[in-house]
Structure 1
Amino acid sequence: MSNRYAAAGQDGQLSGDGTQADPGGELQDKDGRKVGLGKKVTLLRGISIIIGIIIGAGIFISPKGILKHSGSIGMSLVVWIGCGVLSLFGALSYAELGTCIKKSGGHYTYILEAFGPQMAFIRLWAELIAIRPAAMAVISLAFGQYILEPLFMPCAVPPMAVKLATAIGITSVMYLNSMSVTWTARIQIVLTFCKLLAMGVIIVPGMYQLFKGETKNFENAFDMDNVNLSGMPLAFYSGMYAYAGWFYLNFVTEEVDNPERTVPLAICISMAIVTSCYVLTNVAYYTVMSAEELLASEAVAVTFAEKLMGNFSVVVPLFVALSCFGSMNGSLFALSRMFYVASREGHLPEVFSMIHVRKHTPLAAVLILYPMTMLLLFLGDIYSLLNFMSFLRWLFIGVVVLGLIYLRYTKPDLPRPFKVPLFIPVVFCLTCFFMVFLSLYSDPVNTGIGFAISLTGIPAYYIFIYFNHRPKWLQRALDCFNRTLQILLVVVPAEE
């Protein structure tokens, strides 16, 4: 699709969709602004995106995976700190990439720049058909479960009620991201403060207990009798999963105000806050619960609140639900930009790189995940799909950071306003590939299935992208799809 539909107005006259073309031929909305994505992500909004996505439901529900595999309270805290440092290494590597490649799209864009279109398309394909719909459905299910929990206490929440609440949550997040970039960012800031408040509700009473002398659970914290060194890689795997999300600001680089300064600063501040909160929250848990009690709990924050706060513990599920909603909102905001950029590069239908003429949001790119997410929610085995795909996340993140090292040697003159010491990406890259091999070793069947699903991107690349002479029926279908969606959604190509 081109500007045929969009630029119907001439010499400043309004067209039917509320846009106008100025005498110079640039498309504008009725307020005289160019149709495009503005630089609306400030430092505070950048921090809220990163923290808001990283802190999901996990820290409130079940940090027991790390304790189980590390074997002792002391070692579990070491793992939480170590995972924070490793995540910071990855985040700093992405900060360098975000300041020298000033395009949105995150993983996809960096793989495209370093290793070419085929590898980038395979990454995009895996994200689109499985990884992101499943991940969105899972975090949304947690939202549905915990938003209804206070209404049904002490009974279990009916599964269909959870799915209906989840569907409402997904739809509301899609609607918010479709309507306004500014309001999406503002609400993300509010939700991030709610998450930090929720963690404060746990940390402050926990520290009070600690200063009162409730330290019995920390005695022999590093008892080596229970430490299982062979389980440490699995403990780090669980920890790195809890920290995942530090890369999302790189998905919206083009919308970041002064990215050379904002991206590295937002990443460093966010990782310092998240690591501190995670460690202090776990310390707070252990002031009230023994290792055995924590391992036996299905929802650690709820158990903690019941022990210390009595009836006030009913607010904890609401905080968890708000935390999940913030993760849903922030991740959708970032991911839509990856699909927007992929369409601009020709790897998705053209309509996904178009902007709503009045709302100035990438409406089609926001909605692209909606059908598949809802389908998985009601029909699919989401958790199995996530097991298939969990290793692919670290494989491709490792490939991205490997691309940073590769670009250091192939493009040494590329401007790098922010540059990290080489050992940082090397250590992080090795960590990612180690976690990939760990997945292959511990669960070869599910990992193999996930790898096979991603490899279906190779024939898709040659059918839809590589061959210039597509079958006429396929080209007509793509043209019809672009034209119909453009008219229905009232979107037009963005002005450069």
Structure 2
Amino acid sequence: MRKTTDSPHSSTDVSEGKEKLRLKQEVGLISGVSLIAGTMIGSGIFMSPEWVLDHMRSPASSLLIWGACGLLGMFGALSYTELGTIIKESGGEYIYILRIFGSFPAFLVAYNSVILVRPAGLAAACLSFAEYAVAPFYPGCSSPPVVIKCTAAACILLLTIINCLNMRLATSVMNIFTAAKLLALLVIVVGGLVLLTRGQTQRFHSAFQNTTTGIRAVGVAFYQGLWSYNGWNNLNYVIEELKKPEVTLPRAVMIAIPLVTCLYLLVNMSYLAAMTPSELLSSGAVAATWEVNGLGSWAIGMAQLMSLFVALSMSGSSSGTFFTGGRVCYVVSREGHMPDILSMALMRCLIPSPALLFTSAMSLIMIISGNFTTIVNFFSLIAWFFYGMTISGLLYLKIKKPELPRSYKVPIIIPIIVLMPAVYLVLAPVIDQPQFEILYIILFTFSGVILYFSLVRFKCHPRFLQRVTLHLQLFLEVAPTTWDAN
């Protein structure tokens, strides 16, 4: 797993002969917990409960699905934590696959991740935020798609400005949004506990009645639940910016994911205490319906409160997704799999602004040309394929290279448990209900094969690229960075 730094995109460096810059290690434990929990708590807990219940058909079985999804996310995060103590570099799945399996599969991961997966996650989160943010302005009717897309684009631009100005400002924004969304969920939890203490427990009588046993229904319910837990691996994308990563990474994981899992279970219990299963299934906005049923007379004049809370939650999730997405693009470029300009950072504040700008641009394109459902389909299939490859790499290291130094280890059964549902979530949509999105993904990946052999393997680079890189470097006031994993 020796690191190679031979970049296929050579460029003129305005700081040639000087010491290269390095990103600052400014992400502490609190910011690390916020980055994980803040990204995980997004639209899912406000939208997925009705779909999980719809497929499982009983309150108790839906709660089991939520708990099992949290356990799976915890197992995945613990597996990634061991990888993070072996390969102490930012980049997540890309850097792990590069160090374990080599350049070609890593390039395909990078190609899909930088251009599709990370921008898709950001675009989906911002579209969800926009839908709830503009809903109060269009009571009784659907919000115009143009307004939703413009609001989502404005959200991306605002996040770009914040993240390019100052990293401490960006982490502070994430911390504030995380606190706001935790407060919103605590309101729901406390309201549900009050209802339960008053005797509204009838929904939990015969709680397993009508539970479905179909494999496909259970699998789809898991799929909906796991979407709400997406973000459990976010801290692995920014390891180089962690303070004491060998300590901060495992501690943040062990705090954030159990916290989110407990909140999700309590929130679902609160939903079921305030609503009958039929009300929950027919609700287009679960949190808003809970507000009316759970708060009763207090809900008068507060119909827009939960829309605000949900919008804040999704905005915080967007911030975390953007923060990590730009770092993935930065690391991919630094390893020579994308143009060098994307691996540079602002000289005055050491922020990888070119990578952030590129991620922003790709997300804007997806918002203009796509919709939420299509974007999520792209994101989920490719993301779980990457997760499966990464977990396979950990199993390889545990079996073939047990002597590698690591400060944290997980039992081998844990990555095996994570790998099984990852394989299922990739194969099930292809076998059960193949869609055109799958064909698009295959064609896009094939174009990546062509680009790899032409640009990376045989290094057929356009000559104007050096001149463009130099001008962009001067215009953006950026310089190359370096990272020594030792």
Bin the TM-score by the shorter chain. Answer: over 0.9
Q: Secondary structure at the match of 1:192?
A: helix
Name the counterpart of 2:427.
Answer: 437
- Compute the displacement of 1:410 (Å): 2.9
Contact 2:118 2:321 in 1 (8 A): no
Change (3 A) 1:382 1:323: closer
Q: Comparing 122-131 with 169-178, which one deviates more in the overlay?
A: 122-131
Given residue 6 of structure 1, which amino acid in structure 2 is its aligned partner? S
Q: 2: distance between equivalents of 1:407 and 1:299?
A: 45
Q: Could you say if the C-alpha distance between residues 303 and 464 of structure 1 is closer, same or farther in structure 2, counting changes exceeding 3 Å?
A: same
| CA deviations over 1:238-258 (Å, ceiling 9, x no partner) | 111211111010000011111
- Answering whether residue 469 of structure 2 is matched by residue 479 of structure 1, we say no
Q: How far apart are residue 226 of structure 1 and its match?
A: 5.1
Paired residues of 1:62 and 1:299 also in contact (CA < 8 A): no
Q: In 1, distance between residues paired with 2:290 and 2:177?
A: 22
> What is the aligned partner in structure 2 of residue 294 from structure 1?
280
Equivalent in the alignment of 1:459: 450
- SS of 1:369's partner is helix
In the alignment, the residues of structure 1 paired with residue 197 and residue 81 of structure 2 have an alpha-carbon distance, to the nearest angstrom, of 38
Paired with 2:246 and 2:89, the residues of 1 have a C-alpha distance of 12
CA distance, structure 2, for counterparts of residue 135 and residue 394 of structure 1: 13
CA contact (8 A) 1:188 1:330 kept: yes
Per the alignment, in what secondary structure is the counterpart of residue 300 of structure 2? helix
Structure 1's 351 and 117: CA in aligned 2 closer, same or farther, altered over 3 A? same
Distance apart, 1:335 and its partner CA: 1.6
SS in 2 for 1:239: helix
After the TM superposition, which of the residue ranges 156-165 and 425-434 deviates more from structure 2?
156-165
Matched residues in 2 for 1:492 and 1:375: separation? 27
Task: Tell me which stretches of 4 or more aligned residues in structure 1 moved more than 3 Å.
Answer: 1-4, 224-230
Q: How far apart are the structure 1 equivalents of 2:220 and 2:148?
A: 30
1:280 Cα deviation (Å)?
0.4
Over 3 Å counting, the alpha-carbon distance change for 1:65 and 1:344 in structure 2 is same
User: Do the aligned residues in 2 keep the contact of 1:134 with 1:382 (CA within 8 Å)?
Assistant: no
Partner residue in 1 for 2:400: 410
Structure 1 residues not aligned, in runs of 5+: 8-20, 28-34
User: 1: distance between equivalents of 2:453 and 2:96?
Assistant: 21
8 Å contact from structure 2 (residues 48, 224) kept in 1: no
- Aligned residue for 1:50? 36
Evaluate the alpha carbon distance shift between residue 314 and residue 350 of structure 1 in structure 2; reply closer, same or farther with a 3 A threshold. Answer: same
331 and 215 in structure 1: CA distance in 2 versus 1, 3 angstrom threshold? same
Q: 1:227, CA displacement in angstroms? A: 5.1
In the other structure, the counterpart of 1:211 is 197
CA shift for structure 1 position 225: 5.8
Give matches, 1:44-443, under 5 Å. Answer: 44-224=30-210, 228-307=214-293, 308=295, 309-381=299-371, 383-443=373-433
Structure 1 residues 224, 296: CA separation in 2 closer, same or farther (over 3 Å shift)? Answer: closer
Using the alignment, how far apart are the partners of 1:268 and 1:431 within structure 2?
A: 21
- Is structure 2 residue 479 aligned with structure 1 residue 492? yes
| C-alpha distance in 2 between matches for 1:53 and 1:69 | 25
SS at 1:355 equivalent: strand
Offset at residue 464 of structure 1 (A): 1.4
Rounded Cα–Cα distance in structure 2 between residues aligned with 1:379 and 1:229? 34
Deviates further, 394-403 or 53-62: 53-62
Equivalent residues of 1:3, 1:493 under 8 A apart = no
Structure 2 CA distance, aligned partners of 1:258 and 1:300?
A: 40
Alignment size in residue pairs: 469
Q: 1: distance between equivalents of 2:441 and 2:174? A: 32
Q: Is the 8 A contact 1:26 1:495 kept in 2?
A: no
Structure 2 unmatched ranges of 5 or more: 1-9
TM-score, with length taken from structure 1: 0.91
Measured in 2, the distance between the counterparts of 1:233 and 1:338 equals 30
- The equivalent residue for 2:440 is 449
CA contact (8 A) 1:50 1:245 kept: yes
**What residue in structure 1 maps to residue 3 of structure 2?**
none
Contact 2:12 2:470 in 1 (8 A): no
TM-score normalised by L of structure 2: 0.92
Aligned counterparts of 1:263 and 1:71: Cα–Cα separation in 2 = 38
Q: Structure 2 residue aligned with 1:26, among 9, 16, 19?
A: 19
How many angstroms does 1:80 deviate by?
0.4
Identity of aligned residues (%): 37
SS in 2 for 1:492: strand
Matches of 1:139 and 1:437, distance apart in 2: 25
Aligned to 2:4: none
Deviations along 1:383-413, one digit per CA (max 9) or x if unpaired, are 3243244212111101101100101233222
Question: What's the CA shift string for 1:17-64, capped at 9, x where partnerless?
Answer: xxxx9xxx436xxxxxxx431110101110000001011112113422
| Alpha-carbon displacement from aligned partner over 1:150-188 (angstroms, at most 9, x marks no partner) | 233344333222222111111000111111111111111
Q: In 1, Cα distance between the equivalents of 2:30 and 2:385?
A: 30
SS at match of 2:345: strand
Deviation at 1:235, TM superposition (A): 1.0
Q: Distance in 2 between matches of 1:225 and 1:85?
A: 21
Letter in 1 for 2:302: F
Q: Is 2:238–2:324's contact at 8 Å kept on the other side of the alignment?
A: yes
Say if 2:48 and 2:225, in contact at 8 Å, map to a contact too: no
Q: 1:342 to 1:289 in 2, by over 3 A?
A: same
CA distance in 1: counterparts of 2:403 and 2:333, whole angstroms: 29
Counterpart code for 2:19: E
CA distance in 2, matches of 1:301, 1:185: 27
Moved more, 156-165 or 269-278: 156-165
In 1, the alpha carbon distance for the partners of 2:13 and 2:476 equals: 16
Instruction: Please report the RMSD computed on the Cα atoms of aligned residues, expressed in angstroms.
Output: 1.8
The SS at the match of 2:479 is strand
**Separation in 2, partners of 1:381, 1:333:** 22
In the TM superposition, residue 454 of structure 1 has moved relative to its aligned partner by 2.4
Return the alpha-carbon distance in structure 1 between the equivalents of residues 72 and 129 of structure 2. Answer: 28
The amino acid that maps onto 1:325 is: S
What SS does the aligned partner of 1:311 have?
Answer: coil
Q: 2 CA distance for matches of 1:429 and 1:4?
A: 43
Q: For 1:412 and 1:174, how far apart are their aligned partners in 2?
A: 41
